[in-house]
Amino acid sequence: MHFGSRLRDLLSPARRRWLQGGAVLAGAALTGGCGAPPPPLRIGAHVWLGYELLYLARARGLVPASQLRLVELPTATASLRALAAGTVEGAGLTLDEVLSARARGLMLRVVAVIDVSHGADALLAAPDVASLAALRGRRIGVEQSATGALMLDAALQQAGLRPADVRQVPLAFDEHAEALRRGRVDAVVTFDPVRAQLVADGARVLFTSAQVPGLVVDVLAVRPEVTAAQADHLRAVVAGLLQARQAWLQDSRGSAAEMAPRLRLPPAAVEAAFGQLQLPDLAANRAWLTGQPPQLLVTARRLEAVMQRAALLPPAAASLDDQGAESPLADPRYLPQA
């Protein structure tokens, strides 16, 4: 999801120095001083299926209110701005958004993998576009993000088309539905809940993330200083997230009814949409975060290459392999022990 120049402005050299120099002060502030317990961990989340597990964890009392405060934000851009400003300590983000933030000086760490898209991201077209090949010369709406670039690139490759064969139209996520409905574009790369809404309207599914498994990944990412200041809170949030996954598996109908209002989907559509996601359990999270190398790092390197080709990273940004062991991308310390 695109945040481009606004995050670059926030992370100017002076801003980056502030972030680095202010980490100790921020950590001290989080502890509250004088032996007082640290305040709740503030986690930003915009509307997305996987992030609903955080709201489910809160609603079911799986994480005490003293340890978690969910901050509802309209977009990933807003989450990244809040992270950069220090008004939240963590957020639900896609892996490419984490890489973009790190490339601009905000060294976020991934403490859990929330979901892996297996069909929830898709290239949808108007009913008169019969196939991928029929996209030649057509207008395709797409966010300026690695996820959008990756999905479009993979779809075009399958169709034997080049980027120059189509007309790319930059669109923010909240513009996707109306742009396709009003004919401003002939197709759009989007994700749930908009994917489900447009399919219900009759849009044609031409390509989905199920055809590029393991590449569209949503994670819980935190500012680096949080891991010391609010470690117990963070462990509770990660444990609650995994417990919410189990609650979903045990009662998907009841869980879907709780999620439906925020997603603006009927409960049955929420259940169907979750069928397009893989929800990693504790063992899978360990593989993502602790493998040799971590699966997260393998996927991130592939995404980084896509982002570099699409000019979605600053030209002079340090690569993942050059960012240093002191700023690891994956941080498994907050996963439950058993």
What percentage of residues in the chain have a pLDDT greater than 90?
A: 68
Question: 229 Cβ partners below 8 Å, 6+ apart?
Answer: 26, 27, 28, 30, 31, 38
Please state, in angstroms and rounded to a whole number, the distance separating the CA atoms of residues 69 and 40: 6
Contact at 8 Å (CB) between 171 and 185? yes
CA-to-CA dists, residue 235 to 144, 177, 221, 239, 337, angstroms:
33, 37, 13, 6, 10
What percentage of residues in the chain have a pLDDT greater than 70?
A: 89
Between residues 23 and 107, which one has the greater pLDDT? Answer: 107
Q: How many residues does the chain have?
A: 338
pLDDT tens per residue, range 317-331:
888 988 877 789 999
Average pLDDT, stretch 116-131? Answer: 95
Domain boundary among 155, 177, 211: 211
Contact at 8 Å (CB) between 45 and 92? yes
Instruction: Provide the pLDDT for residue 71.
Output: 98
Q: Are residue 268 and residue 203 in the same domain, yes or no?
A: no
Q: Are residue 224 and residue 205 in the same domain, yes or no?
A: no
Contact at 8 Å (CB) between 143 and 97? no
| Residue 57: pLDDT over 50 | yes
Q: Are residue 88 and residue 152 in the same domain, yes or no?
A: no
- Could you tell me the CATH number of the domain that includes residue 311? 3.40.190.10
Vertex 288 angle, CA 49 and 191, to 5°: 25
pLDDT tens per residue, range 94-121:
999 999 999 999 999 999 999 999 999 9
Domain boundary among 211, 229, 244: 211
Q: Are residue 233 and residue 136 in the same domain, yes or no?
A: no
Between residues 3 and 177, which one has the greater pLDDT? Answer: 177
Q: Are residue 192 and residue 272 in the same domain, yes or no?
A: no
| Residue 40: pLDDT over 90 | yes
Instruction: Provide the pLDDT for residue 33.
Output: 47
Bridge partners of residue 222, in order along the sequence: 90, 109
pTM (predicted TM-score): 0.82
Question: 60 Cβ partners below 8 Å, 6+ apart?
Answer: 243, 244, 247
pLDDT tens per residue, range 208-237:
999 988 878 999 999 998 877 799 999 999
Contact at 8 Å (CB) between 276 and 118? yes
Q: How confident is the model at residue 79 (pLDDT cuts 50, 70, 90)?
A: very high
Instruction: Provide the pLDDT for residue 240.
Output: 98
Contact at 8 Å (CB) between 283 and 329? no
Q: Are residue 288 and residue 225 in the same domain, yes or no?
A: yes
Q: Are residue 228 and residue 206 in the same domain, yes or no?
A: no
Between residues 31 and 129, which one has the greater pLDDT? Answer: 129
Q: Are residue 234 and residue 95 in the same domain, yes or no?
A: yes
How many distinct structural domains can be found in the chain?
A: 2
Contact at 8 Å (CB) between 156 and 211? no
| Residue 316: pLDDT over 90 | no
What residue numbers bound the domain in which 165 lies? 121-211
Contact at 8 Å (CB) between 238 and 220? yes
Q: Are residue 40 and residue 77 in the same domain, yes or no?
A: yes
Q: Are residue 105 and residue 227 in the same domain, yes or no?
A: yes
CA-to-CA dists, residue 203 to 164, 189, 190, angstroms:
24, 12, 12
Please state, in angstroms and rounded to a whole number, the distance separating the CA atoms of residues 65 and 84: 24
Instruction: Provide the pLDDT for residue 34.
Output: 54
Q: Are residue 69 and residue 202 in the same domain, yes or no?
A: no
DSSP 276-323: TEE---HHHHHHHHHSSS-HHHHHHHHHHHHHHHTT-S-TTPPPGGGS
Domain boundary among 171, 191, 211: 211
Q: Are residue 163 and residue 238 in the same domain, yes or no?
A: no
